[in-house]
Amino acid sequence: MRRREPERRRRRERGRPRLPLRRSLLGRLLIVSVLVASCAVAATAWLAVQTTSGAIRQEQGQDLSSDAKIYNTLLGYAATHPRWEDVEDTARELARTSQRRIVLTTEDRRPLFDSAGASSVAPLPAQASAVVDPLSVDTVLVPDAMTAGSDRIDPRAVGPFLLPANERTELRAITEKQVACLNSVGVAADVVDGPSGRPRIEFVRGDTDRDLEFKCVAQNSGATLTEKKALDELNTLADACLKRQGHKGATLNLDLSWDRGYGQITAAEKQSAEKQSAEKYPSEKYPSEKYPAEKKAAAVERGDDRAIASCVGSARREQLTDHVAAPALLFIDGTGAVSVPGFDLSPSNTARIVGVTALVLALTVGVSVIAGARLVRPLHALTGAAQRMRDGLDSAPVPVGPDNEIGRLAAAFNDMAVHRARLEEQRKVMVSDVAHELRTPLSNIRGWLEAAQDGLADPDPAFVSSLLEEAVQLQHIIDDLQDLGAADVGALRLHPEPVYADELLGQVAAAYQGPAETAGVTLSVATPKPGPPGPTLYADPVRLRQAVSNLVSNAVRHTPSGGRVTLRSYRTGPGHGDEVALEVSDTGAGIPADDIPHVFDRFWRAEKSRNRSTGGSGLGLAIVLKLAEAQGGTASVVSTEGKGSVFTLRLPPAPAEAPADATAAEAAAGPDGPDPINMTL
């Protein structure tokens, strides 16, 4: 039979359908590997594209720099010339140096200049590269430093502020004297002409002595006649704008700041002030309970400043309109397509990319197959062992590989197989124990009944009492098995309520006082000294009394004559779980250390002969453990061979009881509860 069994097993395995590749672990590993390889190829392609795009962007950046230079030059021309008639020389020089085609047209696309000549028939793009307008500078092509504040007016557009030669000469003489004074005291400075021709002092070093600077530049050159005339005209235009908006007028200074009685705000500072105002006061509506009146006034002044700034910008555009060129459309065209070295997707390069991709995929699949086979092999061994276990056959331990997921799975499977074999052995022993426990009373009952039937025994009261005792013993075993079965499936009916621990222990002690006296054992309840009442726990009083009764019955049975069995209760305290402990200690023979882990097992008895004079059915302590666990508690034992044992039930306290209601017994026991050694003496 043993030789035929492997053959039958192989036939069953051959008859079992194989998993589809898409559902097997190897297939999934292949799919993941192909996806990973595809992602790697895609990432490589993306990196190549990004690198190439970077080169293209660099080339485009160079073109953008060239475009900005062209735009800025033409913008300066428009800011200093009222018309475009003489722009040809400037634009042609820009086209020659940049190697680009430059086309200027009016806003309605009438040609002004084309560097390709009048014979060019190349169509212009639908969208212009930029609009050359000195009164509305494109801040993308020209840095913000090139613009005057936030009005986007080219600072080179000065219009009527352009100084004549005599005024320039007079102002330059004054400025050169100031620079000479600064140089004489060790302050490096120079004279620089502004767009309007007004000279100004430029310090070579940023750190200067303010006192020396003030002494040298104390003579301030005021506005010239030309500047006063232009400034009055600008002031008139700005006041008209403010009046239309319902604001008071403002007196403009030469640097285009204005004076409203609370200080001057320059054009450069205006934008920063507006930003800070918007951040600090995000709304024009200020609740009186949050902002005081002076903040409201400041907000009104800031609103006036914004209106003044807007009107000054509008007035400047109106004043400069006749002095600058009209807006023109700028078209800048390259000489050819941008070429990046090394980026040529020719047929040979395409074939090379495809070949590399195929090689990467092939290597990925090959490595995945090898790795997948090594991964699946122990899984097949586990599957075979599980199937043999299902068929009830003895399964040899699965080989445990290295310390990885599969190795740990194999070790866990071997542990499970050993545990299952142990449980099966326990099940067989339990069935044998149950059969033995039930057979004994049934055999006695049958023997007495057959003797009565044969006339060998008279059905007197002693006869009936003997049969009743055996029936009661049989009923106890059946009830115990029923309780254990209900506890195992969670069907044990419980009715928890607050229970006085000392009162329950007194009831159990009273019930077993007679058997204890018969056995010559002193049974008592350790009561605390006069003080607060004992602890109250939350449990089913019937089931709890049953558990304590089993412990007391077991203690009386294993305590020799002259011994003592003591019951006590105490609170463990918050640091030890805050539970109520019920303790049954005896001065019996104790339990050997090797047997302590099995005392709560079913049908386990320290005395293996199963003599009724030395032990019961072996279910009492198992029922104690199950009843304690069903009520949220635990059961434990501490025993010293030759001195006695201490069985302890720990259960949750009643919700209404405060931790301070500890008994005197708890205080005497110390913070760690009763001393097991002292309790067993």
**pLDDT band per the 50, 70, 90 thresholds, residue 648:** very high
Residue-level pLDDT at 221 = 67
Tokens representing residue 78 in the block: 């428009």
Answer with the residue of higher pLDDT: 21 or 65: 65
- Residue 175: partners with Cβ closer than 8 Å, 6 or more residues away: 191, 199, 200, 201, 221
pLDDT digits (tens, 9 = 90+) for 85-131: 888 889 888 888 888 888 999 988 888 888 887 666 678 888 888 89
Retrieve residue 378's tokens: 């122990």
What string of H, E and C letters represents the secondary structure of 295-346?
HHHHHHHHHHHHHHHHHHHHHHHHHHCCCCCCCEEEEEECCCCCCCCCCCCC
**Residue range 479-484: mean pLDDT, rounded:** 69
Which comes out higher in pLDDT, residue 69 or 373? Answer: 69
Rounded CA gap, 423 and 388, in Å?
17
The helix or strand, by DSSP H or E, that contains position 200, with its residue range, turns out to be strand 199-203
Distance (Å, whole) CA 591 – CA 30 = 60
Q: Token pair for residue 521?
A: 């054992």
Range from 16-25, 208-217, 261-270, 304-313 carrying the lowest mean pLDDT: 261-270
Q: Please determine, for residue 61, whether its predicted confidence score (pLDDT) is greater than 70.
A: no
323 Cβ contact list (under 8 Å, min separation 6): 82, 157, 158, 159, 160
The answer to whether residues 659 and 574 touch, using CB atoms and an 8 Å cutoff, is yes
Per-range mean pLDDT, top range of 191-200, 398-407, 437-446:
191-200
* All residues at 6 or more sequence positions from 128 whose CB lies less than 8 Å from its CB, including other chains: 105, 329, 330, 331
Judge whether residue 297 has pLDDT over 70: no
The residues near 158 (Cβ < 8 Å, ≥ 6 apart) are: 195, 196, 323
Rounded CA separation 49/584 (Å): 82
CA 659 to chain centre: 39
Whole-number percent of the chain with pLDDT over 70: 68
Helix axes 347-390, 405-453, angle to 10 degrees: 20
Can you tell me whether residue 517 is helix, strand or coil? helix
CA nearest 294: which of 246, 260, 262?
262
Mean pLDDT check: name the lowest of 347-361, 490-504, 535-549. 347-361
Beta bridge mates, 499? 537
CA distance 293 to 299: 10
The pLDDT of residue 542 is above 90:
no
Q: Give me the mean pLDDT over the 288-315 stretch.
A: 62
Rounding to the nearest 10 degrees, give the CA dihedral for residues 292, 297, 301, 306: 50
Q: Which long-range contacts (CB under 8 A, 24 or more apart) does 298-301 make?
A: 301/260, 301/262
| Residue/partner pairs of 540-543 with CB below 8 Å, 24 or more apart | 540/494, 540/495, 540/496, 540/497, 540/631, 541/497, 541/499, 541/504, 542/495, 543/492, 543/494, 543/627, 543/630, 543/631
pLDDT of residue 645: 92
Burial class (CB in 10 A: 0-12, 13-18, 19+), 546: middle
At 608 the pLDDT is: 53
Residue 147 has pLDDT above 80, yes or no: no
And the tokens for 666? 């708890």
Mean pLDDT check: name the lowest of 58-72, 206-220, 378-392, 461-475.
206-220
Strand partners, 102: 332
User: For position 362, what pLDDT does the model report?
Assistant: 81
What is the Cα 489 distance to its own chain's centre?
Answer: 40
Tell me the pLDDT band of 635, cut-offs 50, 70 and 90.
Answer: very high
Residues 6+ apart with CB under 8 A from 322: 82, 159
- Assess contact for 612 and 560: CB atoms under 8 A: no
**What's the pLDDT score for residue 487?**
66
Mean pLDDT comparison of 275-289, 304-318, 465-479, 583-597, highest-scoring range: 583-597
- Winning range, highest mean pLDDT, from 259-263, 616-620, 636-640: 636-640
Give the pLDDT band of residue 145 (cuts 50, 70, 90). Answer: very low
Which range has the top average pLDDT, 297-311, 383-397, 553-567, 610-624? Answer: 553-567
In three-state secondary structure terms, 645 is strand
Widest Cα–Cα separation across the chain: 161
If you search the block for the tokens 């006296």, which residue do you land on? Answer: 517
Would the pLDDT of 337 be above 80?
no
Short-list 232, 231, 240, CA closest to 308: 240
C-beta of residue 568 within 8 angstroms of C-beta of residue 644: no
pLDDT of residue 345: 54
> To the nearest 10°, the Cα dihedral for 185, 190, 195, 196?
50
* Mean residue pLDDT across the chain: 75
Class of residue 452 by CB neighbours under 10 A (exposed 0-12, middle 13-18, buried 19+): middle
Q: What residues form DSSP beta bridges with 252?
A: 258
- What is the reported pLDDT for 271? 53
pLDDT-derived band at 256, boundaries 50, 70, 90: confident
Whether the pLDDT of residue 289 is over 50: the answer is no
The whole-number pLDDT of residue 568 equals 92
List the end-to-end C-alpha distance of the chain, in Å, as a whole number.
60
Q: Give the mean pLDDT of 72-87.
A: 90
DSSP letter at 456 equals S
What DSSP letter does each residue of 156-189 carry, written as one string?
A: T--GGGPPPHHHHHHHHHHHHHHHHHHHHTT--E
∠ CA(670), CA(674), CA(676), 5° rounding? 135
pLDDT beyond 60 at 285: no
Nearest Cα to Cα of residue 418 among 397, 403, 443: 397
Find tokens 């949050």 and name the residue: 290
Q: 398-405 long-range contacts, Cβ below 8 Å, gap at least 24?
A: none
398 vs 405: CA distance, rounded Å: 14
pLDDT score recorded for residue 167 = 87
Write out pLDDT tens, residues 192-218.
888 888 888 887 765 556 666 667 776
Rg of the chain in Å (alpha carbons): 53
Confidence of residue 584 (pLDDT cuts 50, 70, 90): very high
pLDDT tens sequence across 377-399: 777 788 888 888 777 777 678 88
For the cut 80, the answer to whether the pLDDT of residue 22 exceeds it is: no
Q: Is the pLDDT of residue 577 over 50?
A: yes
Among 248-257, 415-424, 517-526, top mean pLDDT goes to: 517-526
Please report which confidence band the pLDDT of residue 649 belongs to, taking 50, 70 and 90 as the band edges: very high
**DSSP codes of every residue in 393-425:** ---PPPPP-SSSHHHHHHHHHHHHHHHHHHHHH
State if pTM tops 0.85. no
pLDDT reported for residue 637: 93
Show the tokens assigned to 427.
Answer: 């099940």
Q: Is the pLDDT of residue 270 over 60?
A: no
pLDDT at 663 over 50: no
Q: Give residue 595's identity as a one-letter amino acid code.
A: D
Model pLDDT, residue 520: 92
Q: Which long-range contacts (CB under 8 A, 24 or more apart) does 2-11 make?
A: 5/393, 9/388, 9/391, 9/393
